[in-house]
Amino acid sequence: MIRAYLALVLALLIGSASVATAQTIGYAEAIDRLAASCGNDINKYCKTVNLGGGRIQSCLDQNQAKVSGQCKATIAEVRSLLQKRAAARAYVLKVCDIDARRLCPGVQPGDGNLLECFFKAERSASAPCRQAVTDAGYR
Amino acid sequence: MNLRSMSAALVLVIPLAVSPAQAQTSLTSNDLVSSLQGIEAAPAGISAALLRKQALDGIRDPTRANPINREPLSAQLGQLAQFTVVINFDFNSARIRPESYRTVGLIADSLYHPYLQGYRFLVVGHTDSVGSREANLKLSQQRADAIRDALIDPFGISPARIEAVGLGEEQLLDRANPKAAENRRVQLINIGR
């Protein structure tokens, strides 16, 4: 908890100079943490339940009185990180809009090609934009 | 509009059967994005429904009774941008094993990348030749469906972007060794805009 707080403070202090540290995680990492923390509980209470249709989450919810504290904590943590990732994805188009128009003139917004052009030219973009790109998981 | 070269369809084969020891060395989704980048025009007629029909016809074709004689069902399929992974299921079941959750998440992450936003994808499940051909066809379809279901929920991919088809043992990776593990694989294929 303390470590996470310090990491956040450091990231804010370093600010525009650093775009290396993402403050979000992707689905592979998220589900990996869940599988690690909740593996035993899944084997005990959800042994025949499949991942699709949100059934594993439902099963763990239904059994929450019995599921381990560590698993529950990881579920909450992962949910929060994924929400940040989704928000970053929505945000990146806004914060990078001016950069995108400058770096990809003539390409129409709303077209997949604009995103593609922009992400190829992204190194010349502003620092907040580059951080948003990192947080959106596009790096 | 950018027209892409059709000649460089990268086929990246990654044995991602993840054990805890291997997890730390696994690829990131962005590593996979380049092998999935597609072309502007949709290739003619590739769809889950068409491939399903071709697989059923293939099972009824007596010249294909012996695995060694089973030519690929679709020559086009091999030319499209794609990658191959291993996803582990419970025995004789379409339940994805927790050790393979990460691989499905990796697929989802790559589909979120801006380069792949405009494209649709096919999840193709394959089995080895152990057991009956019909049972393998059915099981591989159920497994491909299970992967597609997970990509939609919990991973949030739009259902319109993914189709799923099981090809059983009709498109073996190693026809000379049809029971070999390499035949049990899942392909993710870019089928265009």
Answer whether B127's CB lies under 8 Å from B168's CB.
Answer: yes
Nearest chain A residue to B104 by CA: give it.
A28
Q: Where are the domains of chain A?
A: 24-85, 96-139
Average pLDDT over residues B82-103: 95
Beta carbons of B102 and A28 less than 8 Å apart: yes
Domains by residue range for chain B, with CATH: 11-190 (3.30.1330.60)
The answer on pLDDT for A5 being more than 50 is yes
For the CA atoms of A25, A29, A35, A38, the dihedral, rounded to the nearest 10 degrees, stands at -30
Output the CA angle B9-B114-B40, nearest 5 degrees: 45
Q: Could you tell me which residues come within 8 angstroms of residue B153 by beta carbon, excluding any fewer than 6 positions away?
A: A52, A53, A54
Could you tell me which residue, B12 or B93, shows the higher pLDDT? Answer: B93
A·B CB contacts under 8 A: 90
Pairing of strands B11-13, B82-85: parallel
Q: What pTM did the predictor assign?
A: 0.81
* A77-91, A107-121, B15-29: least confidently modelled range: B15-29
The answer on pLDDT for A93 being more than 90 is no
Question: Measured between alpha carbons, how far is B37 from B168 in angstroms, rounded to an integer?
Answer: 26
Residues in A whose CB is inside 8 Å of some CB of B read: 26-32, 34-35, 39, 42-43, 48-54, 56-57, 86, 89, 112-113, 115-116, 118-119, 137-139
Beta carbons of B146 and A52 less than 8 Å apart: yes
Confidence at residue A110, expressed as pLDDT on a 0 to 100 scale: 57
Q: ipTM of the assembly? A: 0.81
Joined tokens for residue B73 = 């069902």
